[in-house]
Amino acid sequence: MRPLFGPAPLLPGFRLALGCALVYLSLLVLLPLSGLAFKASQLTVAEFWAIASGERALASYRVTFGASLLAASINTVFGLIVAWILVRYSFPGKRLIDALVDLPFALPTAVAGITLATLYAGNGWIGRYLEPLGLKIAFAPPGIVVALTFIGLPFVVRTLQPVIEDIEPEVEEAAASLGASRLQTFVRVLWPALLPALVTGFTLAFSRSIGEYGSVIFIAGNMPLISEITPLLIISKLEQYDVVGATALAVVMLIISFVMLFVVNGLQWWAATRHGARAAGGARR
Amino acid sequence: MSRFIRQLCAVLALGLSALPVVAEPSLLNVSYDVARDFYKDYNPLFQKHWKAVAGESVELKQSHAGSSKQVRAVADGLEADVVTMNQASDVDFLADKGLVSKDYARRFPNNASPYTSTMVFIVRKGNPRAIRDWPDLVKPGVQVILPHPKNTGNGRYTYLAAWGFALGQPAGNERTAQDFVARLLQNAPLFAAGGRDATTTFMQRKIGDVLVSFESEAELIAREFGKGEFTVVYPSLSILTEFPVAIVNPVVDRKGTRKLAQAYLEYLWSPAGQENAAQNYLRPRSPEMLKKYAEQFPPIRTFTVDEVFGGWSKAFPAHFKDGGSFDQIYQKK
């Protein structure tokens, strides 16, 4: 049998592979998600709205999505620098630094949170210099950004590294020899090639941050309306054995994340086609 | 090669046939987080006792985590023979699900709580802020460290202790109590993630003037940070914290471990079990044992959740459910 659309694939094993992929995704992703939707559907629309739009819930969305956005942005800038250095230059200790990047993947998040809180507290190695300047990091909203930046870093670096490896230094040399300034080389040659990977890295770091709980609660301070993240409110509902209320908040987070990811992917697609069209146009000329 | 396989099969068959003979009865005790040390000491005591009375050795397994997480796991099918919790509302949840008897609190003496504790103040060495009682905690400029009052058992007990104190004052009523608690919470620079996190924040990061915690926690702080580093202050009135235990009926009936589970929990009230509680700085129920360890348990006036709040089944919704008194404090602004 041919696939429903398009010509028969050249490679064998399409149906088997597709079947495997669908079963795997259904078991791991779709089934839990539909369970979530099912639980949440036990609420009436009015009840759902009351939970989703409560004062504390709204404040927690601001904290969660604001801090995640900020952390992912910081990681996009500095992750690009880290990835660039790791690919383009060789220096002693490079392997070690490369391995360090993965540490946030491997470290239990609670350990990360406790360590960061200790570092940034008023008597910690870093906090003791910041607090006299009036910068309160631990047990305040900036602490949340610090924790989320920590856990999000590898996503940006690991996404960018292979892409930078693919850009040969000769491309830059060619641009320079054709009279492009350093800025022009970056903006016209490197940036378009990096952008899709940057957007992907940003998206991954951002999505990871939204759901993060373990590290944040130890550094956030958890004050209602100020430094409460949405996952904490979900746990709070579970503490009251209010599973349905917890799923309502989870559904809200899912919807917001989905919309944001959709927008980001749309942007990426738009950038890719625009760049592709320009490149094609350039070739014609 | 084939000889090797045949031998392997023979060994396996032998092993399998021998299994039912050597398998000893086992018991899973699902418990709250900081009970780890207590049961680590208690289990060998019970194993020795059971060997002596029933002549059989028994395997005891432990599971520790946040108490409400634990009972949710039991409700979802974790095969716990017994649960040993730090708050009645958690066992009530299992009773509602039909997993433990509705009257579990009367199945064992003392409200089914083999030991108790109470909430005390831990202040910096020499008590520089002169903190003596609850009203000192609401003074402007005093920083109070406590775990999240809505999400942690430790924080809930602190909240109810302050509430009960304010309610017991002359002309105290629900309104003055809520105001008092609100002022106390205003003095909290943060809500710790749990009891141990609050301790770390206070002792290691040196944040705050007073930590409100279980009396039993003070001893653990002394072991970790040194006795001279802090002073324990007993308020004029505090809350009696109970630690209810219960048998999970469907599990023991299926596994045939009811007798064992009953004995395991009953032995908590034996002299050995009571002494183990005292050694872990939990107040034993037995008057003799309390007298023996009187030095580490100064007398303190306490009230129970049942006396002041009409039980956890009333206190929990009134204060800690969404829209309860805690949420109201944060919605006034």
Same domain, B199 and B54: no
pLDDT tens figures, B127-149: 999 999 999 999 999 999 999 99
According to DSSP, residue B25 is labeled P
Domain assignment of residue B8, yes or no: yes
B199: domain CATH number?
3.40.190.10
User: What average pLDDT score do residues B222-241 get?
Assistant: 90
Q: Per the CB < 8 Å rule, is B93 touching A241?
A: yes
pLDDT tens figures, A70-94: 999 999 999 999 999 999 999 999 9
Domain assignment of residue B320, yes or no: yes
Same domain, B107 and B62: yes
Q: For an interface test with B, which of A111, A229, A241, A247 has the most B Cβ atoms less than 10 Å from its Cβ?
A: A241
How much is the mean pLDDT over chain A?
88
The structure tokens listed for A224 are 């209602």
Contact B210, B123 (CB under 8 A): yes
Buried b (16+ CB within 10 A) or exposed e, B257-287: beebbbbbbbbbbeeebbbbbbbbbbbbbbe
- Residues of chain B contacting A108 with CB distance shorter than 8 Å: none
For chain B, percent of residues with pLDDT exceeding 70: 92
**Nearby residues of A61 by Cβ (< 8 Å), 6 or more positions away:** A230, A252, A256
* CATH number corresponding to A61-228: 1.10.3720.10
Same domain, B323 and B198: yes
User: What average pLDDT score do residues A219-238 get?
Assistant: 92
Chain A nearest-CA distance from B318, in A, is 12
Count of domains forming chain B: 2
Same domain, B194 and B108: no
Same domain, B233 and B313: yes
Predicted local confidence at residue B9, as pLDDT: 54
Domain limits for position B161: 117-240+301-329
Q: Per the CB < 8 Å rule, is B193 touching A217?
A: yes
Contact B93, B265 (CB under 8 A): no
Same domain, B203 and B313: yes
Does residue B24 sit in helix, strand or coil? Answer: coil
For chain A, percent of residues with pLDDT exceeding 70: 93
Contact B310, B165 (CB under 8 A): no
Q: In angstroms, how far is CA A56 from the centroid of its own chain?
A: 24
Compute the half-sphere exposure of residue A135: CA atoms within 13 Å on the CB side of its CA.
Answer: 11
Question: What is the Cα–Cα distance from B81 to B263, expressed in whole angstroms?
Answer: 12
Chain A nearest-CA distance from B151, in A, is 5
pLDDT tens figures, B27-74: 999 998 888 889 999 999 999 999 999 999 999 999 998 888 899 999
Q: Per the CB < 8 Å rule, is A238 touching B205?
A: no
DSSP-based helix, strand, coil % in chain B, nearest 5: 55, 15, 30
pLDDT tens figures, B176-187: 999 999 999 999
At B18, is the pLDDT very low, low, confident or very high (cuts 50, 70, 90)?
Answer: very low
Domain assignment of residue B145, yes or no: yes
Same domain, B160 and B252: no
Same domain, B52 and B165: no
Answer whether residue B222 shows pLDDT above 90.
Answer: no
Question: What is the Cα–Cα distance from B105 to B305, expressed in whole angstroms?
Answer: 14
Same domain, B250 and B151: no
Residue of A123, A221, A239 with shortest CB distance to B68? A239
Supply the ipTM of this predicted assembly. Answer: 0.81
Same domain, B53 and B66: yes
Same domain, B40 and B11: yes
Predicted local confidence at residue B19, as pLDDT: 47
Same domain, B192 and B309: yes
| pLDDT-wise least confident of A8-12, A126-130, A267-271 | A8-12
Domain limit, last residue, from B253, B269, B285: B269
Residue of B72, B190, B206 with shortest CB distance to A221? B190
